[in-house]
A and B are shown apart, each in its own frame.
Chain A
Amino acid sequence: MLILNNISKKLGDFHLVNINLEISEGTYYVLLGRSGSGKTQLLELIAGLNSPDSGEIWLDGEDITRKKLQKRGIGLVFQDYAIFPNLTVFGNIAYSLESSSGDKKIIKEKVARVARELNISHLLGRNTHHLSGGELQRVALARTLITSPRLLLLDEPMASIDASLKDDIRRLLRRLNSHGLTIIHVTHDYREAVSLSSMVGVIHNGRIIQEGKPDEVFRKPVNKFVARYSGIRNFFRVKFRKDPEEWVAVSNSNLVISLADGSFPDEGLLIIRSEDIKISITRPDNNSVNCFRGIVTDILPSEYGVEVSVDAGETFYIDVSADTFRKQPLLESSEVWISFSPEAGVALEGSN
């Protein structure tokens, strides 16, 4: 278990303030924040690249606040991977082993094993200069995993790889985590948090402003920042199914939502952004898919006008502009229709 007690650190004009964290073994913790929010600095403190001005860091019951970074057993994968350009892929992966054990045969076996696991066996003899972003990331991961870290820290692991490779990396990270590896993953993208995390922390201006399970954090943001930042309120756990002609998502309360063509997991999370949902007092014409009758349960002023909550089997949150609300006032407990196109539904594979 990793415990951060009142960690503070001043870095130039920037302050990390009273960070308290408890991350139990096997957790996939996603630290969500914009650039400049302090998330990378926090990772560097945990890894030992910097020391905090005050506070303590405990790992598995041991105070590691002042422990040398080489002795912490914490693996860090940098955002730009920090691959050693003067070494081959093999040299990079074997780097940590060559400082501790001299037996070349054992080193080769260990490197081959981790390379197989990460699908980079064919790259071992290559220089790193012409590797793609995805390949570099696998090399960086392999180089860290071979040290058998007690804790794996990932700094924006999806930031510089092609969209097509993100699914592969997500699967890989999920597999590592399911084998018991505790992971702290720093990102600015809430979708990564939703699809990977078992716990989410939102960091802003050097403070952790909300923490919890992803459903809780995104469903009940503690403040406007988290709400705006996550950008989503309509967040449903669903089962995906292919009806003869189309893909549908079936929610826990059996609401059937039509989806645009694509590939879907068996189950996961469905996100519908508030701005994609239309609301009307009468049933919209020519709209047979994703058109649901519901009851207005809440109307709250928002930045754009009002945010209307509608119970249509599941609770939907819909943004209504101030203008539209003036022209077509809605009342609490009144009956309304909500509709959205099949394209509005975004499926995320969510294991937690």
Chain B
Amino acid sequence: MNRYGPFNWIFLILSSIVLLFLVAPLTGLFLHTGVNELFETANDKAVQESIALTVWISFAATLFFSIAAVPFSWLLARKTFYLKSVVQGIIDLPVVLPHTAAGIALLGFISRDGLLGKAASAVGLNLVNSRGGIALAMAFVSLPFLINAARDGFSAIPERLEKAALNLGASRTRVFFTISLPLAWRSIVTGFVMMFARGMSEFGAVVIIAYHPMIAPVLIYDRFSSFGLKYARPAAVLFIIVALVVFTILRLLSERRKSGDKRNDYADS
């Protein structure tokens, strides 16, 4: 019986407390939500639209920004340049910033008086209270997750592989697409999923840029402040379920893609 001494017991109890703290609120949330309420909320058009809006805007923002963020991550992994550590610090800034403060900063940038706002209104776009504005707010707070994961992925590839490809006559672009990108793919997908998830769950920055159209976190807050906990709960549960399903599918897809990479494309040559 003495296999577990006091040391192990204390650590086990401390770990259980932390785990319980994480699990209890979510379990409570599910237990307090009746199946009927859940179905009712699921049939609520406003809830459906807001969840769909949240998922696709976050996905579109992640996809759009990854076009620039992935090459940027490669630069950070491979090149040394003046003030590189400052640039790294700037990338991590949104993680430590209060998100409402990030929203205020972004609002100044995209409102009609701001730099981007002026440019957008010149082509007839208004970013405040728009899907575009929401996408920018989501991307602003979640980009570090993609950039850092992709940078770590590129750093883990031995530089010699890229040099060997160059030595075989390939252009830098070809080396990037045939060697660097496929080898860092797993980290990039992980970063992509994390950025997407972080964007979906963003409330603080988005609520300042756009209360309407209403994304799910804003809708949950709106229901809570207008009608109370009972009305907010089913929407929250539904959003959590949708988020979990989406991430599970993304994970499965990325796993399949990885095992697909191992297939012998030239097996029959």
A95 touches B170 (CB 8 A): yes
Question: What residue of chain A has the Cβ atom nearest to residue B262's Cβ?
Answer: A127
The 6 lowest CB-CB distance pairs between A and B, nearest first, are A82-B164, A90-B266, A96-B168, A125-B267, A82-B160, A86-B182
Kindly state whether residue A80 has any CB partner on chain B within 8 Å.
yes
Kindly state whether residue A75 has any CB partner on chain B within 8 Å.
yes
Kindly state whether residue A113 has any CB partner on chain B within 8 Å.
no
Q: A70-B170, A86-B179 are in contact. Are A95 and B269 (CB under 8 A)?
A: no
Chain A 127-147 interface 0/1 with B at a Cβ cutoff of 8 Å (1 = within): 100000000000000011001
| A114 vs B11: C-alpha distance when bound (angstroms) | 61
Contact of B167 among A76, A90, A91, A125 (CB under 8 A): A76
| A74 vs B182: C-alpha distance when bound (angstroms) | 26
What A residues does B262 contact at CB under 8 A? 127
What A residues does B160 contact at CB under 8 A? 78, 80, 82
Q: A70-B171, A86-B182 are in contact. Are A91 and B158 (CB under 8 A)?
A: no
Q: What's the nearest-Cβ distance from chain B to residue A221, in Å?
A: 33
Question: What residue of chain B has the Cβ atom nearest to residue A112's Cβ?
Answer: B269
Those of B217-269 within 8 Å (CB) of chain A: 261-262, 264-269
Chain A 77-97 interface 0/1 with B at a Cβ cutoff of 8 Å (1 = within): 010101011101011001110
Kindly state whether residue A99 has any CB partner on chain B within 8 Å.
yes
B266 touches A47 (CB 8 A): no
Q: A47-B167, A49-B163, A70-B166 are in contact. Are A126 and B264 (CB under 8 A)?
A: yes
Q: A82-B158, A85-B183, A86-B182 are in contact. Are A95 and B266 (CB under 8 A)?
A: no
A86 touches B261 (CB 8 A): yes
* Interface size bracket, B side: 20 to 34
B264 touches A127 (CB 8 A): yes
Kindly state whether residue B161 has any CB partner on chain A within 8 Å.
yes
Question: What residue of chain B has the Cβ atom nearest to residue A90's Cβ?
Answer: B266
Kindly state whether residue A176 has any CB partner on chain B within 8 Å.
no
Q: What's the nearest-Cβ distance from chain B to residue A253, in Å?
A: 47
Contact of B269 among A47, A49, A74, A124 (CB under 8 A): A124
| A175 vs B105: C-alpha distance when bound (angstroms) | 69
A147 touches B183 (CB 8 A): no
Chain B 169-190 interface 0/1 with A at a Cβ cutoff of 8 Å (1 = within): 1110010001100110000000
Question: What residue of chain A has the Cβ atom nearest to residue B183's Cβ?
Answer: A86
What B residues does A127 contact at CB under 8 A? 262, 264
What B residues does A124 contact at CB under 8 A? 266, 269
A108 touches B168 (CB 8 A): no
Give 19 A-B contacts (CB < 8 Å), ordered by A residue: A49-B166, A69-B167, A70-B167, A70-B171, A78-B163, A82-B164, A84-B164, A85-B183, A88-B264, A88-B265, A90-B266, A91-B265, A95-B168, A95-B170, A96-B169, A96-B170, A99-B168, A100-B169, A126-B264
A84 touches B167 (CB 8 A): no
B165 touches A84 (CB 8 A): yes
| A53 vs B163: C-alpha distance when bound (angstroms) | 20
Contact of A82 among B163, B182, B267 (CB under 8 A): B163
Chain A residues in the interface with B (C-beta under 8 A): 47-49, 69-71, 74-76, 78, 80, 82, 84-86, 88, 90-91, 94-96, 99-100, 108, 111, 124-127, 143-144, 147
What A residues does B171 contact at CB under 8 A? 70, 99
Q: What's the nearest-Cβ distance from chain B to residue A213, in Å?
A: 30
Q: What's the nearest-Cβ distance from chain B to residue A116, in Å?
A: 14
Q: What's the nearest-Cβ distance from chain B to residue A115, in Å?
A: 11
| A236 vs B199: C-alpha distance when bound (angstroms) | 75
B168 touches A147 (CB 8 A): yes
| A78 vs B163: C-alpha distance when bound (angstroms) | 10
Question: What residue of chain A has the Cβ atom nearest to residue B170's Cβ?
Answer: A99
Q: What's the nearest-Cβ distance from chain A to residue B230, in Å?
A: 53
What B residues does A78 contact at CB under 8 A? 160, 163-164
| A24 vs B170: C-alpha distance when bound (angstroms) | 28
| A76 vs B267: C-alpha distance when bound (angstroms) | 27
Q: What's the nearest-Cβ distance from chain B to residue A333, in Å?
A: 58
What A residues does B183 contact at CB under 8 A? 85-86
Q: What's the nearest-Cβ distance from chain B to residue A123, in Å?
A: 11
What A residues does B266 contact at CB under 8 A? 88, 90-91, 94, 124-125
B169 touches A70 (CB 8 A): yes
Question: What residue of chain A has the Cβ atom nearest to residue B268's Cβ?
Answer: A125
Question: What residue of chain B has the Cβ atom nearest to residue A107's Cβ?
Answer: B269
| A82 vs B183: C-alpha distance when bound (angstroms) | 13
| A144 vs B164: C-alpha distance when bound (angstroms) | 9
What B residues does A99 contact at CB under 8 A? 168-171, 174
What B residues does A86 contact at CB under 8 A? 179, 182-183, 261
What A residues does B169 contact at CB under 8 A? 70-71, 96, 99-100, 147
What A residues does B268 contact at CB under 8 A? 125
What B residues does A88 contact at CB under 8 A? 264-267
A76 touches B164 (CB 8 A): yes
Question: What residue of chain A has the Cβ atom nearest to residue B161's Cβ?
Answer: A82
Q: What's the nearest-Cβ distance from chain A to residue B43, in Å?
A: 47
B264 touches A125 (CB 8 A): yes
| A91 vs B269: C-alpha distance when bound (angstroms) | 11
| A331 vs B222: C-alpha distance when bound (angstroms) | 107
Q: What's the nearest-Cβ distance from chain A to residue B243, in Å?
A: 31
| A293 vs B186: C-alpha distance when bound (angstroms) | 72
What B residues does A70 contact at CB under 8 A? 166-167, 169-171
| A47 vs B164: C-alpha distance when bound (angstroms) | 10
